[in-house]
Structure 1
């Protein structure tokens, strides 16, 4: 295999060649320098020095410009926005550097995607386990308590019956909350009835518990998505509505699912206080990581007092 000189040796040898040529020119050519240099001699030296510097600058610029490009890209690259690669030069050590940098980004993005997929799969499995425990254990236990309270209330004296009724209502409310949490953890309606029904149920639950009206728009004839993509769409809508309930102080929310070109687009908009988007929270980062698993992208727009719009674009299967 032929020896490939490093960048150091290329710069060193080029400077050496330039200086050797300059030295040989002074030694072998009629040009000379007097003790008291004449104007013509100063002119010759100036021109020679300028040519040496020019040749050195041309080579260094060609060799080191890719280094500057890599340094600038490293300061701005975002793994949550993959696909940005540097154009490779035609040759030289700069091309090797850019090629190695692009390969490094490929490996990092692949490893991050794999680790995110494993983490989110484990998270979904844990959600399902907790939802099952809530439904089978806690829910059934509270149901038994309700039945027992009903029997006790029927046999209790009148002065205690009213208080027992209040306790029953509290237990019933707690049971309803547990069932709601279980549905949020494990969206059975998504598995049984599909994405459209799951989004409708999600919006209805949100309106019932937050008091904020949700206007739903689902386009007809949307292409079928993979089960993983449907789960991503549902979770992003769920997280967006949760953020509205916690932070937006909105009066109206719009949830839409449409098709735009080769993508299915989910939008959740509100007329709340808005955000400047300068400090994305863990919820937004989680949405972006989920979207990357199915080749999608999440963007957040809005501003203080202008509301917020969360937009998820998922590619349509070919």
Structure 2
């Protein structure tokens, strides 16, 4: 039994794999697209040469005579026959090997992260069987790649949640206790040391704020609590804090989306804005979510330097992995004029091929918490993000660490 069957037998993994068509038999591959049986390359060449030999034998056994010495018109007839035989062989070979050239081009340009059209099963029977086998092999490889990526991303999300919870429960609580101790110390220290204690308080408070931001980056609690629209608006607010002017257009009447599809939309938007902030030298960006009758499209656009000819890094590859898991199309292309466009189109509706992509199960233990520290309401409380027109209840989830 093949590898794909073993993967499908794992608990919860069968739903991750797209349907993989069974390998065509040699008989079905020989029939081609139209259903008509095709003649193999061997029989085409054999038939052509056999016809030439039969004609030559008929001429030898017939009443045809050859002069001695050979007359010019007889030599022309002989040369014409040989030329016709060679041309016939060349045409047959050319037509017979064309499907193999197409297959070679498809093999050299195949990319499992960019599923595209398969080579057409056509040509002689031998070529048709080979192309059909290659298509089936590619389907299996894509299914295995999707299953492996789903496991890896699922583990990544669980690890994000674990680290965020520990940052909140351990480091965050420790820094909060340090702040309380410093406050008590500040009330008793001499005036000459008060400034130093105050600076230490500010540094500790800044560290606590950073811990909160990191926890929100690792686990977007706003996505689970307030939904995709609020999460994207909050994301725009976070990157406005990073020095970008992020304009967002997120409708409130989105079609029903699975939690997996929402997570993919959020993570791709997060990664796209992260790359914009760190690599593009842009000062403006757009975050747009549009609905169509059969799909939802996310657009992250900036006015930076563009992607140029740089190879894709881990960030874009991660976006492609996530898009593949929910049957979405991802395009990273130059923007109009300058900059970069990141487009993610996810099909919607009951027939949408949404796979079960990485979402960590909800924590139900006694220590399960949303990894965000209580809001600092003291006199030194600070705002960590600003953006006009954002949801006033949205919290800032931040950006991931995977880069381009």
TM-score by length of structure 1 reads: 0.90
CA deviations 1:184-240 (Å, max 9, x no partner) are 1111111111111111221112212x1222111112421021101100000011111
Select the residue among 297, 313, 318 that pairs with 1:281: 313
Aligned residue for 1:168, secondary structure, equals helix
CA contact (8 A) 2:45 2:92 kept: no
Cross-structure match for 2:292: 260
Aligned residue for 1:80, secondary structure, equals coil
- Give, in angstroms, the shift of residue 246 of structure 1: 0.4
1:37 aligns with 2:37: no
Higher relative contact order (CA 8 A, sep 6+): 2
Unaligned runs of 5+ in 1: none
CA contact (8 A) 1:274 1:305 kept: no
Cross-structure match for 2:274: 242
Cross-structure match for 1:300: 332
Select the residue among 189, 194, 209 that pairs with 2:227: 194
1:101 aligns with 2:131: no
* Matched positions, count: 315
Select the residue among 20, 24, 36 that pairs with 2:57: 24
| Worse-matched range after superposition: 176-185 or 215-224 | 215-224
Select the residue among 210, 228, 233 that pairs with 2:260: 228
CA deviations 1:68-126 (Å, max 9, x no partner) are 11012112222222131122226522211221121122112111111111111111111
CA deviations 1:260-285 (Å, max 9, x no partner) are 34111111112222222542222111
- Give, in angstroms, the shift of residue 317 of structure 1: 2.6
- Give, in angstroms, the shift of residue 298 of structure 1: 1.6
- Give, in angstroms, the shift of residue 16 of structure 1: 5.7
Q: Distance in 1 between matches of 2:330 and 2:135?
A: 24
Q: Distance in 1 between matches of 2:349 and 2:309?
A: 31
TM-score by length of structure 2 reads: 0.72
Q: 1:29 to 1:79 in 2, by over 3 A?
A: farther
Q: Distance in 1 between matches of 2:66 and 2:215?
A: 93
Aligned residue for 2:230, secondary structure, equals helix
Q: Distance in 2 between matches of 1:201 and 1:264?
A: 19
Runs of 4 or more, structure 1, over 6 Å off, are none
Note the aligned Cα RMSD (angstroms): 2.6
CA contact (8 A) 1:250 1:270 kept: yes
Q: Distance in 2 between matches of 1:125 and 1:193?
A: 20
Q: Distance in 1 between matches of 2:336 and 2:186?
A: 53
Where is the helix percentage greater, Structure 1 or Structure 2?
1
Q: 1:10 to 1:149 in 2, by over 3 A?
A: farther
Cross-structure match for 1:172: 205
Select the residue among 346, 359, 374 that pairs with 1:314: 346
| Worse-matched range after superposition: 179-188 or 215-224 | 215-224
Cross-structure match for 2:186: 153
1:124 aligns with 2:194: no
Aligned residue for 1:299, secondary structure, equals strand
- Give, in angstroms, the shift of residue 63 of structure 1: 2.2
Q: Distance in 1 between matches of 2:296 and 2:122?
A: 37
Unaligned runs of 5+ in 2: 1-25, 31-38, 351-404
CA contact (8 A) 1:63 1:92 kept: no
Q: Distance in 1 between matches of 2:155 and 2:221?
A: 18
